[in-house]
Homo-oligomer: A and B are copies of this chain.
């Protein structure tokens, strides 16, 4: 048996702060190259806002990838658009693909976009108090379709890991979450998507 981990108390703020966490990472506009399909709009955003403009921030707490351990964290995705595509996280399939993940919305308005390797697709809008159980085998990405930061509390088995390359190799997810021209969102097929191929 490994040494027993000590329980961790966390204070979770609807603004995305996680007191008691031990990890933070941020993604900036320059990190999102290749993520949005409207390259011209992305380049214009880069010029206007600069590559170091924040896109999202993740705070988390874990113990390392012991069997059975959970990573707990907050994801804060700022509002914004690139052309008509709403701000997104990179998205991932878990490297151990049967691992599930919980997302619970703390503030803002977002969409959890979910796709399988074999072509299934789901999109769930999340507002505060709503959650989604993302089962194994589902590629998933957060999308901010509101005007405020979209903040979620998440949990997954630490050993799950993340495969981000799968989406990049497929030239993006199958569906894009875009403005519907009436203040809402809709799905549009990504014309560049080449299908998922697991390495």
Contact = CB atoms under 8 A, between A and B. Distances in A.
Interface of A: 1, 4-14, 61, 63, 66-70, 72, 94, 96, 98-102, 104, 112, 114, 116, 118, 120, 122, 124, 126, 129-138, 153, 155-157, 160
A122 B8 CA distance: 10
A68 B9 contact: no
B10 A131 contact: yes
Contacts of A96: 68
A102 to B, nearest CB: 5
B10 A100 contact: no
B122 A6 contact: yes
A116 B4 contact: yes
Given A129-B12, A157-B157, A135 B6 contact: yes
A120 B133 CA distance: 33
Contact of A70 (B11, B100, B114): B100
Given A99-B68, A102-B72, A102-B155, A138 B7 contact: yes
Given A63-B135, A67-B98, A155-B155, A130 B9 contact: yes
Given A96-B68, A101-B70, A157-B68, A136 B12 contact: no
24 contacts: A4-B137, A5-B136, A6-B122, A6-B135, A7-B124, A8-B132, A8-B133, A9-B124, A9-B132, A11-B130, A12-B129, A12-B130, A66-B98, A66-B136, A68-B96, A68-B99, A68-B136, A69-B100, A70-B100, A70-B101, A70-B102, A70-B155, A72-B102, A157-B157
